[in-house]
């Protein structure tokens, strides 16, 4: 995709996205919004092919938009109408008859937790509530796919958590495929089945989250106090232990089932306040740190 004026926003980007929740991650300017607009048929790529739910995004954008819910990144809500009026109106715009639009608007607003506030003017809403209205309008019309562009923008940590839980629920309980764009990998990896990472308009990596976070043979142990004592005692028991001082954590090598029991019993014997006992997995961010330094654009299928 080359914009008039010569900016190449996407290049050499080949991927397939399966049902489930897919995170589209990349820094600001990586090309996420451009990709979403191409998927919706709102932008026509300079070259290449795009199919969405079996439809050709180049000529069938209107059909795609009828089946896809879209939550844009930027604030685009009228201040002087109620949430119900706005969501109903957009339901009508996407072709629903009046009664169905009203019913679906009420249902969507309930799903996003705005049932009580549905008759309030949007101008009086907090940022979090406005993001929820944007999500509600994307849900109207029984979409088969949701494209969400930076849904946690502008939200505080609690607001981000609840928005992410909501998206996760939509993807799992309602069975709607979701592609959610974010520049915050650490945030989005919590709710995604698949990740697509782009950098400078090129594909960096596309894979299922499971395949990126294979368990490592280490047990992470966190105690509020007594880390040195615990390390010494576990080493005496013949375990391989390394201390992670920055995280106030011990990593204990897992080379057999008794390791769990030994760690548990030792902590109990020493009466230490255990806060975490976890089979260590790769953090997705660590993997991307490697990929980003190689800066390798690679074609991959999910």
DSSP states of 177-229: EEEEEES-HHHHTTT-SEEEEEETTEEEEEEEHHHHSPEEEEEEEEESS-HHH
Plot region of 57 (φ>0 → left; ψ -120 to 50 → alpha; else → beta): alpha
Q: For residues 9 and 133, which CB has a smaller minimum distance to ligand ATP in the complex?
A: 9
Least separation in angstroms between residue 193's CB and ligand ATP is 21
Least separation in angstroms between residue 224's CB and ligand ATP is 39
Q: For residues 20 and 29, which CB has a smaller minimum distance to ligand ATP in the complex?
A: 29
Q: Which residues pair with 274 in a beta bridge?
A: 223
CB 195 within 8 A of CB 38: no
Q: Give contact residues for ligand ATP (rule: CB under 6 A).
A: 3, 5, 7, 9, 26, 28-34, 73, 150, 183
Q: For residues 67 and 183, which CB has a smaller minimum distance to ligand ATP in the complex?
A: 183
Least separation in angstroms between residue 24's CB and ligand ATP is 8
Q: For residues 33 and 88, which CB has a smaller minimum distance to ligand ATP in the complex?
A: 33
Contacting residues for 111 by C-beta, under 8 A, at least 6 apart: 136, 139, 166, 170
3-state secondary structure of 274: strand
Least separation in angstroms between residue 125's CB and ligand ATP is 23
Q: For residues 113 and 200, which CB has a smaller minimum distance to ligand ATP in the complex?
A: 200
Q: For residues 8 and 208, which CB has a smaller minimum distance to ligand ATP in the complex?
A: 8
Q: For residues 91 and 151, which CB has a smaller minimum distance to ligand ATP in the complex?
A: 151
Least separation in angstroms between residue 148's CB and ligand ATP is 12
Among candidates 193, 195, 70, 72, which has minimal Cα distance to 143?
70
Least separation in angstroms between residue 6's CB and ligand ATP is 9
Least separation in angstroms between residue 202's CB and ligand ATP is 12
DSSP states of 52-100: ETTEETTT-HHHHHHHEEEE-SS----TTSBHHHHHHHHHHHTT--HHH
Burial grade of 13 (CB within 10 A; 0-12, 13-18, 19 or more): buried
């Amino acid at each position: 995709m080359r914009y008039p004026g010569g900016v190449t926003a996407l290049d050499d980007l080949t991927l397939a996205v399966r049902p489930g929740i897919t995170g589209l991650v990349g820094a600001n300017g990586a090309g996420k919004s451009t990709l979403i607009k191409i998927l919706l048929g709102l932008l026509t790529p300079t070259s290449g092919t795009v199919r969405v739910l079996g439809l050709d995004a180049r000529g069938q954008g209107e059909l795609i938009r009828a089946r896809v819910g879209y939550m844009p990144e930027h604030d685009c809500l009228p201040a002087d109408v109620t949430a119900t009026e706005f969501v109903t109106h957009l339901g009508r715009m996407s072709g629903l008859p009046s009664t169905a639009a009203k019913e679906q608007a009420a249902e969507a607003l309930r799903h996003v937790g705005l049932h009580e506030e549905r008759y309030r003017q949007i101008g009086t809403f907090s940022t979090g509530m406005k993001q929820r209205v944007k999500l509600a309008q994307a849900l109207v019309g029984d979409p088969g796919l949701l494209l969400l562009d930076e849904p946690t923008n502008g939200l505080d940590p609690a607001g981000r958590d609840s928005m992410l839980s909501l998206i996760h629920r939509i993807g799992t309980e309602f069975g709607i495929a979701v592609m959610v764009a974010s520049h915050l990998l650490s945030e989005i990896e919590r709710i995604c089945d698949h990740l697509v990472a782009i950098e400078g308009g090129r594909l960096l990596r596309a894979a299922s989250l499971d395949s990126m976070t294979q368990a490592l043979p280490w047990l992470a142990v966190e105690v509020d106090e007594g880390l040195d004592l615990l390390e010494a005692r576990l080493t005496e028991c013949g375990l391989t232990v390394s201390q992670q001082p920055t995280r106030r954590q011990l990593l204990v090598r897992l080379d057999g089932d008794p390791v769990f029991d030994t760690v548990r019993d030792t902590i109990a014997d020493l009466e230490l306040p255990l806060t975490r006992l976890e089979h260590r997995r790769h953090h997705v961010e660590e993997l991307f740190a490697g990929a980003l330094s190689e800066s390798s654009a690679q074609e991959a299928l999910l």
